[in-house]
Amino acid sequence: MSDSAKRPIIFSGIQPSGELTLGHIAGALRNWVALQRDYECYFCIVDMHAITVRQVPANLRRWTLDCAAMYLATGIQPEQATIFVQSHVPAHAELAWVLSTLTGFGEASRMTQFKEKSEQHAHNINVGLFTYPILMAADILLYQADLVPVGEDQKQHVELTRDLAQRFNNIYSPTFAVPEPYIPRYGARLMSLQDPHKKMSKSDPNRNATIFLVDDNDAIQRKIQRAVTDSGTTIEYDPENRPGISNLIEIYHLATDEPIEAIVERCREWTYSQFKAAVAEALVAYVEPVRTRFQQIRSDEASLASLLLSGAERAARVAQRTLRKVYRKIGFWSPKD
């Protein structure tokens, strides 16, 4: 057995439904990078989740490659991690079907993201949007993941995944690892720059609300300068009562790695505009090299294609092993058993 086979396992993914944002780095990518050396990692581009909202096909194709390039640009090492596209591994859809037969209707109805998304997409509340967390559970369970590094908004889905794994293990016999969510202390829910009560999102119609990783330096400066802050005057970290300035403090922490307490200590008496200037400068320095690497990597589609092809082959082997076990346990007859 190779060394990597003994390491605990991580699974996580991002939807290729738009340009990636600073929120994706804060809640997901930077933690994937930090953990990748100690875990066997599967980082997926979840295109099947993306179609729960109507997509323009050409955009979906483009964003799928963008997403792979951004994984690499933020520091994911293809030697450490398996990077692949969800729809290239049919076992995801197959296990999702099995798990859907173990999920209660009421249980699925309680998912808060479904409730939010059905409000946002009231004209297209499709069944896929409803069963979306079950597909996510299938993603995670196929790889026997121990840890799932995600932002705060995905926590409830990982809890459902744990419940489904335990349920299956109890009904049949131990089959799935029961995964833990990994939610970072800071940056688990980066907020909109225009409304600090809302999550920063790639689909926010107001482009000023979101830092995109492909934003140029001027756009980053401008968005931070225009960020909505609170009525206070001091630089204090209090997400409950001072969400605007607290969000900027988290962004500063993300960009510089300076501890939150140290930032507050050092900058407490600064004016908002002084602090915003410092955040903008630090963020430009943080995003610029990511953007440059992204542009280089993205321009070589042949290399990306070969990476995703070999990633899918590796992932499919692992996923197929779990799926075969599941099919055998539930009683699907196969001439190979």
Using CA atoms, how far residue 117 sits from 43, 84, 160, 202, in Å, is 24, 26, 18, 14
Q: Name the token pair of 86.
A: 């969800």
Q: Is 160 in the site for ligand TYM (CB under 6 A)?
A: no
Q: Using only C-alpha atoms, what is the Rg of the chain?
A: 21
Residue number, 50 or 278, with CB nearest to ligand TYM: 50
Q: Is 247 in the site for ligand TYM (CB under 6 A)?
A: no
Q: In which residue are the tokens 């790695």 written?
A: 257
CB of 70 to ligand TYM, least distance (A): 11
Of 12, 74, 229, 322, which lies in the binding site for ligand TYM, with binding defined by CB under 6 A? 12
Closest residue by Cα to residue 301 from 90, 87, 61: 61
Q: Is 246 in the site for ligand TYM (CB under 6 A)?
A: no
Q: What counts of helices (H) and strands (E) characterise the chain? A: 15, 5
CB of 68 to ligand TYM, least distance (A): 14
Contact 86, 47 (CB under 8 A): yes
Of 35, 63, 146, 151, which lies in the binding site for ligand TYM, with binding defined by CB under 6 A? 151
Residue number, 205 or 331, with CB nearest to ligand TYM: 205
Distance of CA 238 to the CA centre of its chain: 25
Q: Is 162 in the site for ligand TYM (CB under 6 A)?
A: no
18: left (phi over 0), alpha (psi -120 to 50) or beta: left
Residues 6+ apart with CB under 8 A from 189: 27, 151, 152, 153, 199
Of 10, 28, 255, 280, which lies in the binding site for ligand TYM, with binding defined by CB under 6 A? 28
Q: Is 148 in the site for ligand TYM (CB under 6 A)?
A: yes
CB of 308 to ligand TYM, least distance (A): 17
Residues 6+ apart with CB under 8 A from 153: 27, 113, 189, 199
Number of residues that bind ligand TYM (CB under 6 A): 26
Of 30, 117, 162, 199, which lies in the binding site for ligand TYM, with binding defined by CB under 6 A? 199
Of 91, 96, 129, 136, which lies in the binding site for ligand TYM, with binding defined by CB under 6 A? 136
Q: Which single residue brings its beta carbon nearest to ligand TYM? A: 27
Residues 6+ apart with CB under 8 A from 247: 190, 191, 193, 196, 227, 239
Q: Is 18 in the site for ligand TYM (CB under 6 A)?
A: no
Annotated catalytic, 199? yes
Of 10, 15, 212, 215, which lies in the binding site for ligand TYM, with binding defined by CB under 6 A? 15
CB of 138 to ligand TYM, least distance (A): 9
Q: Is 131 in the site for ligand TYM (CB under 6 A)?
A: no
Of 52, 80, 144, 154, which lies in the binding site for ligand TYM, with binding defined by CB under 6 A? 154
Which residues, listed in sequence order, are joined to residue 19 by a DSSP beta bridge? none
If you write DSSP's letter for every residue of 186-220 in order, what string do you get?
Answer: SSTTPBPSS-TTSB--TT-S-GGG--BTT--HHHH
Q: Single out the catalytic residue among 155, 202, 325, 329.
A: 202
Closest residue by Cα to residue 154 from 130, 142, 136, 129: 136
Closest residue by Cα to residue 11 from 177, 184, 160, 190: 177
Q: Is 190 in the site for ligand TYM (CB under 6 A)?
A: yes
Rule CB under 6 A: which of 169-188 touch ligand TYM?
Answer: 187-188
Residue number, 165 or 190, with CB nearest to ligand TYM: 190
Q: Is 139 in the site for ligand TYM (CB under 6 A)?
A: yes
For the annotated catalytic residues, the residue numbers are: 117, 199, 202
